[in-house]
Amino acid sequence: MKGMIKNPKIKAILCIIAAAFGFSLMTFFVRLSGDVPTMQKVFFRNSIAALIALIPIVKEGKGIRIKKGCFGDIALRCIFGTSGLICNFYAIDHLGIADANMLNKLSPFFAIILSIFILKEMPKAVDIIATIIAFTGALLIIRPGGELSVVPALLGLYGGFGAGTAYVFVRKLGGKGERTPIIVLCFSLFSCLVSIPFFIFDYHPMSTKQILFLICAGVAASIGQFGITTAYKFAPAKEISVFDYTQVIFAAILGMIFLGEVPVLLSIIGYVIIIGTAVARWWYTLHCMPDEH
């Protein structure tokens, strides 16, 4: 067992699965908090995350300083990340948590498209095909047809777009050497600032239970953020990113056991298409593409 834990790839897989569980718990606690306004939930989630992000910054003793040339990218990461998070939280409140998680997990496919324009990286043919197939699966979850659920589903889809765009800017910032805790802190503080006016003028009193649920959501989100960051320090994304999709499985299990949510058949088919596409792309990247240095 010790030998396994010393293996960097095993560590990376364990970290990314822990992160997926953390994010699924976040969506679960957000749902449990009930009829609290979305922006109020965003404020609590990110205020907790900001406090947790401060811990490594204080330990480093380097202060809160953004590197020269990184401010614009951090600003865009904050804008897209925050708008995506707000839409994701709205989707969590109005869809099954498995559906909301699956739409958010389209972010890697959005990142492929946006990397063309932001990072000037041209995708391989397999990436283009995978993206098209994945969005076919997304249509089965959205199920356009005039139902009220189409609106939260489309907002959930934007949540995936916002997250994917944010990840591209995080990657760009990583290439510039910006510190991860600074990126997390800036995003969390920006989200808090955006939500404060709504928090003040449309505040809804909360029970002790609701406050505890939202604190748990913030802690769970921090586990997810730092778990992902740690995972990618141990192994490259192409080797482990597919394990992030366990979040949808965790969310589905939590939804079925505690919320009585059973995904409809079309949603399940959509999950299979999207996760299957991610697995196939992961396998192809590992076995059929030469390493790039």
Say which amino acid occupies 46.
N
- pLDDT above 90: percentage of residues in the chain: 36
Quick: pLDDT tens for 93-133: 888 888 898 888 888 788 888 888 888 888 888 888 888 89
What's the predicted TM-score (pTM) here?
0.83
Strand, coil or helix: what is 197? helix
User: Which sequence spans correspond to the domains of the chain?
Assistant: 2-287
Q: 208: buried, middle or exposed (CB in 10 Å: 19+, 13-18, 0-12)? A: exposed
What pLDDT score was predicted for residue 3?
47
**What value does the mean pLDDT take over residues 268-273?**
90
Q: Which two tokens stand for residue 268?
A: 């399940």
Q: Which residue has the higher pLDDT, 191 or 164?
A: 191
* Tokens 């922006």 -> residue: 39
Which CA distances in Å does 191 have to 3, 47, 157, 184, 267? 41, 9, 19, 11, 30
Residue among 91, 30, 43 nearest 213 (CA): 30
Quick: pLDDT tens for 34-86: 889 999 999 988 999 899 889 989 988 888 889 999 999 999 999 999 999 99
Residue among 138, 135, 112, 140 nearest 125 (CA): 112
